Amino acid sequence: MRCAISSSKLKKKSNPAVNVIDLKFYYGDNLALNGITLDISEKMITAFIGPSGCGKSTLIRCLNRMNDLIEGVRIEGCIKIAGKDIYDPAINVTELRKRVGMVFQKPNPFPKTIYENVVYGPRVLGVKKKSILDDICEKALTRAALWSEVKDRLHFSALELSGGQQQRVCIARAIAMEPEIVLLDEPCSALDPIATAKIEDMLVELKKDYTVVIVTHNMQQAARVSDYTGFFMMGELVEYDETTELFTKPKKQRTEDYITGRFG
Amino acid sequence: MKKFFKTGNPYVWLTASSLTVCLLMVCGLVALIMVKGLGIFWPHEIVRFHLKDETVVLGELVKKEPIPYEKNGYRTKLKVGNRDSYGLDFRWINDDEIVSGEYPASVVAIERREWGNMYGFLHGIRKNGKTETIQPDGASEVIDAHKKLFRKIRRLEKKEIGDINHQMEKNRLKLKQLMAPPASDTLQRKADNVKAKIAILEKMYSEKEILLSELYRQAKEKEFIIHLAGGEEKILPVFEVVRMYTPNNMHVFAKMGFYLSKLWEFITDEPREANTEGGIFPAIFGTIMMVFLMSIAVVPLGVLTAIYLKEYAGDNFISRIVRISVNNLAGVPSIVFGVFGLGFFIYLIGGAVDNVFFKSALPSPTFGTGGILWASLTLSLLTVPVVVVSTEEGLSSVPGSIREGSYALGATKFETLWRVVLPQATPGILTGTILAMARAAGEVAPLMITGVVKLAPSLPIDHHFPFIHLERKFMHLGFHIYDVGFQSPNIEAAIPMVYATTLALLFTVLALNITAIIVRNKLRKKYRTSSL
């Protein structure tokens, strides 16, 4: 009922994992997102770019309802994941977050060992058997391209790792839950170029199994890793297209101004 | 001048000097207590003065000062001991009365179980009417033998007869229960059984009594003959002697050994002579046990309160009022908590417990009177604001990003709290516990009406089932200071004991705090937050 309008601007996409339909988001009286409508494709990397405060982080945080934790926010419109409205009161938020993992801008490993960080999610789910947890830990760290670096220090504090390694621990922690979608909110902004390159390579690997949504400040990064890119400005989705299209033949003047570095 | 003020230097000086004043005051306090408290165990030399009126006095030099309200002249304070003969332990002597003074090598100082110190000359030892001369070395052997006897007597009195008494008391209570109406045959049979048991115990008791009186007779056989300063002869049973030494004849190492043995006695022994002599072990034990009980009660209460206030209550008018009230609770005079403890814990809860579980012992109360449990609970109410405030601070110090990380993995609020937030807030919680412990260890006023006593007959932990006796009254260092300093019959002689006990209290608090701080630092290292 809330999703009366069902539209898809981009007809060429085959399997949309997420449908965002006419989403309006308010912080108190401030309109942060103004009628966003887009589809995110399955097993692709979708990047959101735009200047600071354009609403791209707000949007990604709507996808696993992290914005619920902020007081005084209001949301209109609807977001469907696998066809279900995630803002339906019947939806269990923690269940949703288990399906939609998230990695934050600043590496935020728990002050526990690397092992305990990675198996945190499964433990919360109630997995107790050591052999299963060991297995999950190895798989997740391998996928996060960290296994070879830390396999001998699994029981050392995650806080002793470098920033790039910490961020990969956070990614491993997210994919240990076997989510359908992985959201990354500027995951490389606190990292150096080498660590960034490692994470980008890993993202390309991840896309084989997961739908990845990444918010980034870095246009080169979006151009390098993503299949689709959305350009946001002032709470509006200015342009959303295949990455190559958007960066080579932008349809809107504002997009062209931004990607050529005229502002932003 | 204006330029000088503009440099900002004067403010540095101002702040630094106020810090210096604070430091000086604290150091001065500790130094005074250390000097006065640690000095008392050192064996002082004994001086003999010949006075103008041809009398002779013997005693420890305590201090020398100008005579008050007179232009010239000094006077000397002498600890002459022998309270049973002279009435007072101390005597002032004006210097112009003294003809000559010396330190006789053979003078002995004797610590007695009663009447304080005795100073004099060892003349001989008497047994069964026969007198022999004896040297101080030989005397100490006799004293050691009697000390063994003393310990034997104490064990007999406290442990064996104490056990019998304990059993008898239990059986009497049982009997009282059984004799209560309605009467029946089976009850009567049981009661007869118990009566028989009591009879056996009474027989055992009288046997022990005979043994005890025999030991006492042995103990009183030998007597020292002591000549006091003026030549008066004094008879002193060897059994009365705790320690005999010749301070004028001791070299430095002997004095050190003496010092250490006195210090050891002070820490590990029970008090004698209305607490002015002997040790303070029961008080140290009571203080530490009370602080531990208090921590066990206050930490869960404070932490749970803080979690609700911080994590669940939200920031609204009521929660703000509650927070302010909790903070103000820390400022309520402690005696108010004592009165509350008396009314609520002792009379209301304790009375109810007695009525339900200890009915047979009534009208003598078990939990319905002051005891270590009620004192600890009263103190935990007093210290709960400290724990609440520092736990709240600990919870707020956990970064939001860590919580978000946990939520993003599908953890609920409680799981996040339990698995991530609380472990990281542990150092804050422990800081609160340390502050609470420090506050509780030093509190006296509320204890005076909730269970502390001048002299507790037994420790709250002993070998009788159930081993931990939370209903018992206990001794406490803070109250001990007050009691020794203001309530003892011989205040002058007790002053050094006051300082020594104060020092012991300081060290006890210090030891408790250091333990807690070590634990906290270990945890802090473990839960150090990301440096990024």
Half-sphere exposure of B176 (CA within 13 A, CB side): 12
pLDDT confidence of A7, banded at 50, 70, 90? very low
Q: Measured between beta carbons, which residues in chain A are less than 8 angstroms from residue B420?
A: 110
Report the pLDDT averaged over residues A238-258. 88
Q: CB B18: neighbour CB atoms within 10 A?
A: 10
pLDDT of residue A2: 43
The per-residue pLDDT for range A177-227, each reduced to its tens digit, is 888 899 998 888 878 888 888 888 888 888 888 899 999 888 888 888 899
How many angstroms separate the CA atoms of B274 and B114, rounded? 10
pLDDT of residue B129: 78
Residue predicted with more confidence, B136 or A239: A239
Nearest CA in chain A to B416: A124
pLDDT of residue B24: 96
pLDDT of residue B329: 87
pLDDT of residue B139: 80
The answer to whether the Cβ–Cβ distance between B423 and A111 falls below 8 Å is yes
Chain A with chain B: Cβ pairs closer than 8 A: 79
Q: Measured between beta carbons, which residues in chain B are less than 8 angstroms from residue A109?
A: 405, 530
Q: Measured between beta carbons, which residues in chain A are less than 8 angstroms from residue B528?
A: 111, 157, 159
How many angstroms separate the CA atoms of B473 and B482, rounded? 17
Q: Are B37 and B503 spatial neighbours (Cβ–Cβ below 8 Å)?
A: yes
C-alpha triplet B32, B35, B37: angle, nearest 5° = 95
Q: Which residues of B touch A (CB under 8 A)?
A: 399, 401-402, 404-412, 415, 419-420, 423-424, 526-532
pLDDT of residue A14: 52
pLDDT of residue B264: 92
Q: Measured between beta carbons, which residues in chain A are less than 8 angstroms from residue B415?
A: 124
Q: What is the DSSP string of B182-213?
A: SP-HHHHHHHHHHHHHHHHHHHHHHHHHHHHH
How far from the centroid of its chain's Cα atoms is residue B107's Cα?
34
> What is each CA distance from B313 to B309, B320, B384, B403, in whole angstroms?
5, 10, 18, 17
The per-residue pLDDT for range A30-43, each reduced to its tens digit, is 888 888 888 888 88
Of A107, A121, A159, the CB nearest to B409: A121
The answer to whether the Cβ–Cβ distance between A104 and B410 falls below 8 Å is no
The answer to whether the Cβ–Cβ distance between B409 and A97 falls below 8 Å is yes
| Residue that has been written with the tokens 């990047």 in this structure | A47
pLDDT confidence of B477, banded at 50, 70, 90? very high
**Burial tier of A137 (Cβ tally within 10 Å: 0-12, 13-18, 19+):** buried
The C-alpha of B514 sits at a distance from chain A's nearest C-alpha, in angstroms, of 25
pLDDT of residue A81: 87
Report the pLDDT averaged over residues B436-462. 87
Q: Are B434 and B517 spatial neighbours (Cβ–Cβ below 8 Å)?
A: yes
- Average pLDDT of chain B is 86
3-class DSSP assignment, residue A115: helix
Domains of chain B: 46-128 (2.30.30), 281-526 (1.10.3720.10)
pLDDT of residue B345: 93
pLDDT of residue B341: 93
Q: Highest mean pLDDT: which of B4-13, B170-179, B502-511, B519-528?
A: B502-511
- For chain B, say whether A159 makes contact (Cβ under 8 Å): yes
pLDDT of residue B308: 92
Q: Measured between beta carbons, which residues in chain B are less than 8 angstroms from residue A94?
A: 410-412
Query: Is the pTM higher than 0.90?
Result: no
| Residue that has been written with the tokens 């007959």 in this structure | B457
Say if residue B86's pLDDT is above 70: yes
Residue ranges of alpha helices (H) inside B42-87 are 83-86
The answer to whether the Cβ–Cβ distance between A66 and B406 falls below 8 Å is no
Of A94, A111, A124, the CB nearest to B527: A111
Nearest CA in chain B to A112: B527
How many angstroms separate the CA atoms of B421 and B432, rounded? 17
Torsion of CA A170, A174, A175, A177, to 10 degrees: 140
Of A95, A107, A121, the CB nearest to B530: A107
Residue predicted with more confidence, A12 or A200: A200
Report the pLDDT averaged over residues B304-324. 89
How many angstroms separate the CA atoms of A204 and A189, rounded? 18
The two tokens of residue A153 are: 């220090």
Q: Measured between beta carbons, which residues in chain B are less than 8 angstroms from residue A170?
A: 405
Say if residue B26's pLDDT is above 90: yes
pLDDT of residue A145: 83
The answer to whether the Cβ–Cβ distance between B409 and A111 falls below 8 Å is no
Say if residue B528's pLDDT is above 70: no
Report the pLDDT averaged over residues A69-73. 83
The per-residue pLDDT for range B360-412, each reduced to its tens digit, is 777 778 788 888 999 999 999 999 999 999 999 999 988 888 888 999 888 88
pLDDT of residue B465: 74
Q: Are A79 and A247 spatial neighbours (Cβ–Cβ below 8 Å)?
A: no
Of B411, B415, B424, the CB nearest to A111: B424
Say if residue A3's pLDDT is above 80: no
ipTM of the complex: 0.85
Backbone angles phi, psi at B277, to 5 degrees: -135, 170
How far from the centroid of its chain's Cα atoms is residue A238's Cα?
20
- Among B171-180, B294-303, B519-528, the range scoring the smallest mean pLDDT is B519-528
Report the pLDDT averaged over residues B125-139. 81
Q: Are A145 and A202 spatial neighbours (Cβ–Cβ below 8 Å)?
A: yes
